[in-house]
Structure 1
């Protein structure tokens, strides 16, 4: 039995019917590489069953402390049932990308059952009309509660469910897993009561450790090494409202090689700066079409992993964050990339001054009861309508494997990340790489973004505008071919004007 920490517990506290707090992916597999050239659902169950010992997440469930006096605990579930967590459905014909996204959004909108291990995988067959995907392929929609994993530990879970070759044998080490006895509620209350009295001591200790970082941050502000105003002045948009219980998901793939070439537009910039500038351009196009583009730049919260090598296979969240302007007020793509690069450097300087690890550790001593009550009040009172948003959206960059991986012998051909949303944050992005591909996937509240295909077009056009700004020799070698724009209609249609978007 292991207790959650503050940040992990906050994701449990934020769980509401309209804001389920899980993250996940749309994964697509080609079964032709499997032994025999096909994969049955039974094969997937057997494959997962043989590898469950490689992941801590799979068989642990949450147990809450009565009255939320303390953080919940992870317990090895005595009633674990693999077939409850792995489901199986099929798309109706024609089985295209848009149908898959609609089905993924429906699945992702449903909260997980927190009385069981908080994860579900749904295998979806019938992908016979997805451009760039071999016929007979299947998808897997994954959902794992954010209290159990962050982006990097999620990669560790992916490692447990995948192999480097299609015919890799099961692990040789025997599965020595044992179920726990369910803890006594009165005992949990007593332990929570004791921890409540000792929590101020832990808070004092962490504040003392963070004092040098606070001093460096104040010094940097005085010396104008960085500034709070650009990162903390997010304007309100249609994405900073209470969210509904309905979701939309979509994504756009690119050639990773071509994305890397875009760094030449601003010497010294990183791939992540390029993606932030592309997203900034897409948000500019989208909001301009709705006559809703603010004069100030939208900002994004960018999570930063502080997970050490020793914590690589552990559960929970080890992340800090920085806030970066996206340059949505700048029409020129090259100027926007320059701006994003400069602002990212300043944000990183401030995060480094405070100490990313200290920022993550401070969250671990927040009082559980106040955290739960505050999260519930924020949602039920609709405070997102009145409180100034700390940032406009979220963009998390999750590096995927650079080589092909296999599940049940089937080769993964693409991956798109999915995010949880909260009131005041109705749009989130996942930037992910896999082999020679890179993708920008987004999850949005359907009320805030009823036209996800249009936003996908905006992402594509923002990328193409930046690609067109490359020197002639570069742009000739790297023609703007977004890897497999999933819908033929979306691949040939330009973003509509505001009037067209309103009537379409």
Structure 2
């Protein structure tokens, strides 16, 4: 048994009927690329053989009585692999847009908390003969780094099936005693007074930000200063999904030519796509959009437990700048300033706050915020989330079959109904767009615009030479 940290548990507390806090990934596999002969039965059997390597895939949530403390992870005594991996049969081969619609439908359904918080849906019949695996994990169970590490246990560097050594028959650990859990939670209540100590620390930090701005010192974009766009409102349960792929070599060529970071290029591409989209809809604000950019702190956090070890910085995207090169330079400069100020916040600030989060209060606040659609009645915190996750630089074979693409999709939130996640994968950069379907009904147009924006930057980079 292991207790969830406050940050891990917050993804449970903040979930509502419209705000789903799971993440998805679309894997495109090529069953003809020198790997194992594909059948669904051998695919599922290989997954079952690897479960001993990933014990967290058999864990489920167990809540403390009356939500007196954060939940704990326990082994599911009724674990059933057939519930977690399923074959989706289609009447005919799926086209790209139909596959995106299917991923959106799967992302629109909340997860069953009574079981381990993961699913795989296998679609064998794509138009090009490839196989798709739609993976779904709750954010309480994975973040970018832990999700990638989990995936690596299911992958090999060589084609064919790799069978682990036979393990002893799995026997779930005894289930917890609720009376004992409740007693421990009551004993732990005084520790929640640590929240009081976070208040002056936070106020001091805010005062420091204000003072630096008065002194004309650059820093992070400030939350609650973002302009409102069509996708900044209360979200509905339905999700739309789109995806595309571009050459990572082109991204690195742009990076080198302009002496910036890969993440600067990624944010500039997203900015260019959003600028074109908002111009098309006659909704482009005069002010720059602000992105919330997750930052992994696994290597710098003092916390030794927990799955999600992440902070966030706010970055100007330069959507108010028409020239792509000027926009890239502005984004790079803004990111350098944002990182300096983010370092002053500290790697553990978010985790420290969430450590003391009272479960019932957080859940009630989330429900009230959602039901009253309060996101539409206060200034916009940030416009969207943009996440850049480092992936494998070499070919991978997922359960024996070569991975052609790996498109990630994060959650969307009230007030920020669009999330863009990119993952580097074997020389490519795989984009995943996910949005509230009601707020962004034409999401595919964002993905379709990526190649043009990349080519524009690449052409400018080559002109320098």
2:132 is aligned with 1:142: no
Q: State the match for 2:234 in structure 1.
A: 242
The CA distance in 2 between the partners of 1:320 and 1:178, in whole Å, is 37
1:4 aligned residue: 4
Cα gap change, 1:53 to 1:309, in 2 (>3 Å): farther
SS of 2:458's equivalent in the other structure is: helix
**Take 2:430 and 2:361, find their aligned partners in 1: how far apart are those partners?**
38
Contact kept, 8 Å, 2:195 with 2:353, in 1: the verdict is yes
2:149 alignment partner, one of 136, 148, 156: 156
- Aligned residue for 1:32, secondary structure, equals coil
Residue 292 of structure 2 aligns to a residue whose secondary structure is strand
Residues 77, 167 of structure 1: CA spacing in aligned structure 2 closer, same or farther, 3 A cutoff?
same
CA contact (8 A) 1:389 1:424 kept: yes
Distance in 2, matches of 1:219 and 1:260, equals 37
Give the CA deviation at 1:24.
Answer: 1.8
Change (3 A) 1:437 1:171: same
1:353 and 2:344 are equivalent in the alignment: yes
> Which residue number in structure 2 is paired with residue 320 of structure 1?
311
Query: Which of 375, 399, 406 in structure 1 is aligned with 2:397?
Result: 406
Task: Please give the alpha-carbon distance, in whole angstroms, between the structure 2 residues aligned to 1:227 and 1:427.
Answer: 24
Query: Aligned pair 1:186/2:179, yes or no?
Result: yes
Q: 1:214 to 1:174 in 2, by over 3 A?
A: farther
**Hey, what's the Cα distance between the residues in 1 that align with 2:181 and 2:199?**
27
Structure 2 residue aligned with 1:387, among 378, 383, 387? 378
Q: Which residue of 2 aligns with 1:25?
A: 25
Gaps of 5+ in 1: 130-134, 475-504
1:346-367 deviation per Cα after TM superposition (whole angstroms, max 9, x unaligned): 1101111121234433322222
Does the CA-based 8 Å contact 1:33-1:410 persist in structure 2? yes
Does structure 2 retain, via aligned residues, the 8 Å contact 1:196–1:367?
no
Which residue is 1:494 aligned to? none
User: How large is the Cα RMSD of the aligned pairs?
Assistant: 2.6
**3-state SS, counterpart of residue 58 of structure 1:** helix
Give aligned pairs, total.
465
Q: Which of 294, 299, 304 in structure 2 is aligned with 1:303?
A: 294
Q: 1:39 to 1:314 in 2, by over 3 A?
A: farther
CA offsets per residue over residues 410-460 of structure 1, 9 Å max, x none? 111111001112221210010110011012211011111111221222323
Query: For the residues of structure 2 that align with 1:382 and 1:457, how far apart are their CA atoms?
Result: 31
Contact 1:92 1:126 in 2 (8 A): no
| Local SS of the residue matching 2:124 | strand
Aligned partners of 1:412 and 1:454: how far apart in 2?
25
Alpha-carbon separation, structure 1, partners of 2:325 and 2:271: 12
TM-score by length of 2: 0.93
Per the TM alignment, residue 464 of structure 1 is displaced from its structure 2 partner at its CA by 2.4
Q: What SS does the corresponding residue of 2:419 show, helix, strand or coil? A: strand
Contact 1:149/1:315 (<8 A) preserved: no
Could you say if the C-alpha distance between residues 97 and 313 of structure 1 is closer, same or farther in structure 2, counting changes exceeding 3 Å?
Answer: farther
* Deviation digits for residues 287-333 of structure 1 (CA, Å, limit 9, x no counterpart): 11111111111111111111139999976200011000111111110
CA pair 217-448 structure 1, distance change in 2 beyond 3 A: closer
Q: 1 CA distance for matches of 2:33 and 2:159?
A: 7
SS of the aligned residue for 2:27 comes to strand
What's the CA shift for 1:231? 5.7
Aligned equivalent of 1:262, options 254, 258, 268: 254
> What is the alpha-carbon distance in structure 2 between the residues aligned to residue 110 and residue 434 of structure 1?
27
Asked whether the equivalents of residues 301 and 348 of structure 2 are also in contact (C-alpha less than 8 Å), the reply is no
Change beyond 3 A, Cα 1:205–1:391: same
Q: Counterparts of 2:462 and 2:412 in 1: how far apart (Å)?
A: 39
Query: CA distance change for structure 1 residues 281 and 33 in 2, over 3 Å: closer, same or farther?
Result: closer
Contact 2:5 2:305 in 1 (8 A): no
Q: Return the offset for 1:69.
A: 2.1
CA contact (8 A) 2:59 2:75 kept: yes
**Secondary structure of 1:339 counterpart:** helix
Q: Given the superposition, is the C-alpha separation of residues 211 and 236 from structure 1 closer, same or farther in structure 2, using an over 3 Å criterion?
A: closer
Scaled by the length of structure 1, the TM-score of the pair is 0.86
Distance (whole Å) between structure 2 residues aligned to residue 113 and residue 342 of structure 1: 44
Q: Are the structure 2 counterparts of residues 304 and 175 from structure 1 closer, same or farther at C-alpha, using a change threshold of 3 Å?
A: farther
Note the alpha carbon deviations across 1:55-85, whole angstroms, 9 max, x for none.
2420000012233222111111111011110
Q: In the alignment, does 2:279 pair up with 1:288?
A: yes
Would the aligned equivalents of 1:156 and 1:312 in 2 still touch at CA under 8 Å? no
Between stretches 37-46 and 377-386, larger displacement belongs to 37-46
Kindly provide the CA deviation profile for residues 254-280 of structure 1, in whole angstroms up to 9, marking residues without a partner as x.
11111111124532x100100101111
The worse-fitting range, judged by mean Cα deviation, of 285-294 and 209-218 is 209-218
> What secondary structure is seen at the aligned counterpart in 1 of 2:155?
coil
Supply the distance in 2 between the matched residues of 1:362 and 1:388 (Cα, whole angstroms). Answer: 22
8 Å CA contact 2:219, 2:337 repeated in 1:
yes
- The 8 Å contact of residues 160 and 401 in structure 2, kept in 1 or not, is answered as no
SS at match of 1:353: helix
